[in-house]
């Protein structure tokens, strides 16, 4: 992927000397069309108390002023950290964005931050402490969630059980772990950078980096260390790539349906990309679990394609999809949506059901 790269080296910055007690860490901000929020995210990165720290500000070819704001802030920065500025030539999606930047990073630990979130000043320090003491391949923390107006809507959120992840591992031969498979909290995650290097670019604009790393981590038996402390603010707003399950207005419910459709398309593309990787790796004597998970992923692809395209169908097309449905999940999805998105949103608003 051909990306434009600009590097800002601060004359006043101390040399990035890595020691056993203080290894070099990369703190990477990934942004796309977040001009309203990016300044706070970058300020939080600059304020990190840990050193030596490499900060990468990377924009995924935004159509707004996100990159210009990042560029201006990098140019004005005179602190102790090293700041690198990156902009992709073409919008590539979250997975390729992260993998492209990780290949240019120098830190052994790679901390991920979104351009609309705010990290606490001690996020890097606490993450490094947990990493060094646990030697885990993935470090994450609890977080608080705010809405677009800046109001606190949820406190001390952490790791959650994912029914989807459980389903993707059905049939694997580590059933003793199947009651609870760990999931990665994408917004607060940090990775040993070497674990990202093995993953290929996909060129499909996939957004599912936390699902990708969760699956890989379970298959590779990565240790996932969760810091039981809030180290960041995660912002929930109308431009999020994931839907707001707490929407209580007709407009919000309707908006969620189109967000879910777009995310279903991204997940279908992710399945095409990641199942191919799993099958290739599995063929290299990595174990039968790799091919089982790949097949479980592929089993979900038809439903995701239906979900992704559903609101583009006219009424007859929706009826035909109901007739062709092969699983109870498809029927449960189609029936309440048969008469269109407005009718569905109204019914959900009244009865509060999916």
Buried b (16+ CB within 10 A) or exposed e, 220-238: eebebbbbeebbbbbbeee
Averaged pLDDT, 307-327: 94
Nearest Cα to Cα of residue 101 among 12, 221, 227, 197: 197
**In this predicted model, what pLDDT tens digit does every residue of 99-152 receive, in sequence order?**
999 999 999 999 999 999 999 999 999 999 999 999 999 999 999 999 887 889
Cβ atoms of residues 30 and 98 within 8 Å: yes
- pLDDT for residue 243: 45
HSE, CB side, 13 Å, CA atoms: give it for residue 118. Answer: 16
Region at 181 (left for phi over 0; alpha for psi -120 to 50; beta for the rest): beta
pTM: 0.89
Instruction: Give me the pLDDT at residue 160, please.
Output: 79
User: How far apart, in whole angstroms, are the C-alpha atoms of residue 319 and residue 338?
Assistant: 7
Best CA proximity match to 112, nearest among 82, 133, 151, 141: 141
Strands 152-157 and 53-59: unpaired
**How many angstroms separate the CA atoms of 344 and 145, rounded?**
28
| Best CA proximity match to 201, nearest among 93, 108, 112 | 93
In this prediction, residues 174-190 reach a mean pLDDT of 78
DSSP of 292-332: HHHHHHHHHHHHHHHHHHGGGS-HHHHHHHHHH--SHHHHH
Identify the band that residue 12 occupies on the pLDDT scale cut at 50, 70 and 90: very low
- Give the least confident one: 19-33, 159-173, 219-233: 159-173
Q: What is the pLDDT of residues 289-312, one digit of tens each?
A: 999 999 999 999 999 999 999 999
Q: What is the mean pLDDT of residues 281-296?
A: 87
Q: How far apart are CA 243 and CA 240, in angstroms?
A: 7
Cβ–Cβ contacts within 10 Å for residue 248, how many? Answer: 9
Contact 140, 224 (CB under 8 A): yes
State the pLDDT at residue 143: 96
pLDDT band at 239 (very low <50, low <70, confident <90, very high): low
* For residue 6, pLDDT beyond 80: no
Q: Per-residue confidence at 184, pLDDT binned at 50, 70, 90?
A: very high
**Mean pLDDT lowest among 94-98, 101-105, 141-145, 241-245:** 241-245
Can you list the domains of the chain with their CATH numbers?
A: 3-235 (3.90.550.10), 250-351 (no CATH)
Q: Measuring CA to CA, which residue among 224, 7, 205 is closest to residue 99? A: 205
CA nearest 165: which of 153, 176, 177, 148?
177
Query: Both ends of the chain: CA-CA distance in Å?
Result: 40
């Amino acid at each position: 992927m051909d990306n434009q790269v600009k590097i800002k080296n601060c004359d006043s910055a101390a040399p990035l000397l890595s020691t056993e007690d203080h290894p070099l860490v990369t703190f990477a901000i990934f942004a796309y069309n977040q001009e309203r929020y990016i300044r706070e995210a970058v300020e939080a990165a600059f304020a990190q108390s840990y050193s030596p720290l490499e900060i990468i500000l990377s924009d995924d070819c935004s159509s707004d002023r996100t990159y210009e704001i990042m560029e201006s802030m990098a140019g004005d920065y005179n602190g102790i950290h090293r700041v690198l500025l990156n902009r992709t030539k073409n919008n590539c999606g979250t997975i390729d964005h992260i993998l492209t930047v990780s290949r240019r990073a120098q830190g052994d630990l790679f901390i991920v931050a979104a351009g609309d979130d705010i990290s606490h000043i001690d996020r890097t320090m606490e993450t490094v402490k947990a990493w060094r003491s646990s030697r885990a391949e993935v470090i994450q923390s609890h977080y608080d969630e705010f809405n677009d107006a800046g109001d606190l809507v949820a406190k001390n959120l952490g790791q959650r059980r994912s029914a989807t992840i459980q389903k993707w591992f059905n049939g694997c031969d580590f059933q003793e772990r199947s009651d609870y498979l760990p999931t990665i909290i994408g917004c607060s995650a940090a990775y040993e950078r070497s674990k990202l290097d093995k993953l290929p670019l996909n060129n499909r604009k996939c957004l599912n980096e936390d699902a990708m790393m969760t699956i890989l981590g379970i298959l590779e038996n990565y240790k996932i260390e969760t810091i039981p402390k809030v180290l960041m603010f995660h912002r929930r707003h109308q431009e999020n790539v994931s839907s707001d399950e707490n929407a209580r207005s007709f407009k919000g419910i309707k908006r969620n349906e189109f967000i879910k459709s777009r995310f279903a398309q991204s997940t279908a593309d992710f399945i095409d990309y990641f199942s191919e990787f799993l099958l290739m790796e599995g063929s290299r004597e990595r174990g039968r679990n790799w091919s089982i998970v790949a097949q479980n992923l592929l089993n979900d692809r038809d439903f995701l394609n239906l979900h992704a395209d559903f609101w583009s169908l006219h009424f007859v097309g929706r009826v035909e999809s109901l007739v062709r449905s092969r699983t109870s999940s498809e029927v449960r999805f189609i029936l309440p949506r048969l008469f269109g998105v407005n009718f569905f949103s109204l019914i959900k608003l009244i009865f509060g059901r999916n």
